[in-house]
Chains A and B, each alone.
Chain A
Amino acid sequence: MIERLSHGPASVHGLTEPFALSQQMISKHIACLVRARIVIKTKCGRESVCTLRPEAIKTVSDWAFNYRRFWEESFDKLEIVVNQMKKEEVRDDRKHG
């Protein structure tokens, strides 16, 4: 369903068609996506139109390689901090020594 919405907004009816599910089931699924703030549902005349919330997708894509990346990249920065600390320590030693 999200795959379909990634191509653009779609009506609930349009989203029901490709699935072998009742519109009621689809509506329930959409309600979940709306609650999870992944999809925005708006009324357009008699039809409800669903749109993917771009921020939600962006967050997930930003974090697609999340946990390991968090640590690897934090370690990169930690390395810079440690090197800086080392330099400062050497300077302090010279001052006091």
Chain B
Amino acid sequence: MTENTVSEIERMVVTRVFDAPRELVWKAWTDPKYVMQWWGPKGFTAPVCKMDFRVGGKSLFCMKTPDGQEFWNAVEYHEIVLHEKIVSDMYFSDSKGNKIEPAELGIEHEAIDGAYDVTIFEDLGNGQTKLTHIGNEPMESAKNSGQLEGWNQILDKIAAVVAGLVQAK
């Protein structure tokens, strides 16, 4: 048991407390009508949002960068506990939902093999909800990518991605 704990990779975690009841936050997270309004970073839009929100179901999201570039993500649901927890697997895909490697898109994302995304909805009482998203990315990698970096570092990363492509052959 102890060995497992030691070898487990610390994951990227994003939390947020909402001044709203849990059912509402759940709805905003699971209803495509609302997901379209928030999916993707600042300045991005979400023109497509097809959701099949059930265990075994798969959703497809499109996010568009401010300069019009489209990125697609698919999410598969493994476990759903109403108003409490969602265990899913999100990955970059094409517009049909077929998985593609982030590096192919020039995106750096280090995923942990066999790990899932876990989203937890906690009722804090007093009408507040704490949302925790445990992403499939090692903490270290998230920390590194969380900093605004110099041009050369970005270039180094591309070089590393390319080196990976070379090795993969």
Give the interface of A toward B (CB within 8 A): 1-3, 6, 28-29, 32-33, 35-38, 56-83, 85-86, 89
Contacts and interface: CB of A to CB of B under 8 A. Distances in A.
A3 B41 contact: no
Contact of A65 (B20, B145, B151): B145
Given A83-B20, A85-B28, A56 B106 contact: yes
B20 A80 contact: no
Contacts of A75: 14, 16, 38, 131, 133
Contact of A67 (B25, B40, B142, B165): B142
Contact of B133 (A2, A61, A71): A71
B24 A32 contact: no
Contacts of A89: 24
Contacts of B18: 78-79, 82
A86 B22 CA distance: 11
B69 interface: yes
Given A6-B151, A64-B145, A77-B37, A59 B16 contact: no
Interface of B: 12, 14, 16, 18-20, 24-25, 27-29, 34, 37-42, 44, 65, 67, 69, 103-109, 131, 133, 135, 137, 141-142, 145-149, 151-152, 154-159, 161-162, 165-166
Contacts of B145: 64-69
Contact of A60 (B34, B152, B157): B157
A71 B109 CA distance: 13
B14 A71 contact: yes
B24 A86 contact: yes
Contacts of B141: 67
29 contacts: A2-B159, A3-B152, A6-B155, A29-B162, A32-B165, A38-B158, A57-B155, A58-B67, A59-B69, A59-B106, A60-B108, A60-B157, A64-B154, A65-B148, A66-B108, A67-B109, A68-B12, A69-B41, A71-B12, A74-B38, A81-B28, A81-B34, A81-B37, A82-B18, A82-B20, A83-B19, A85-B27, A86-B20, A89-B24
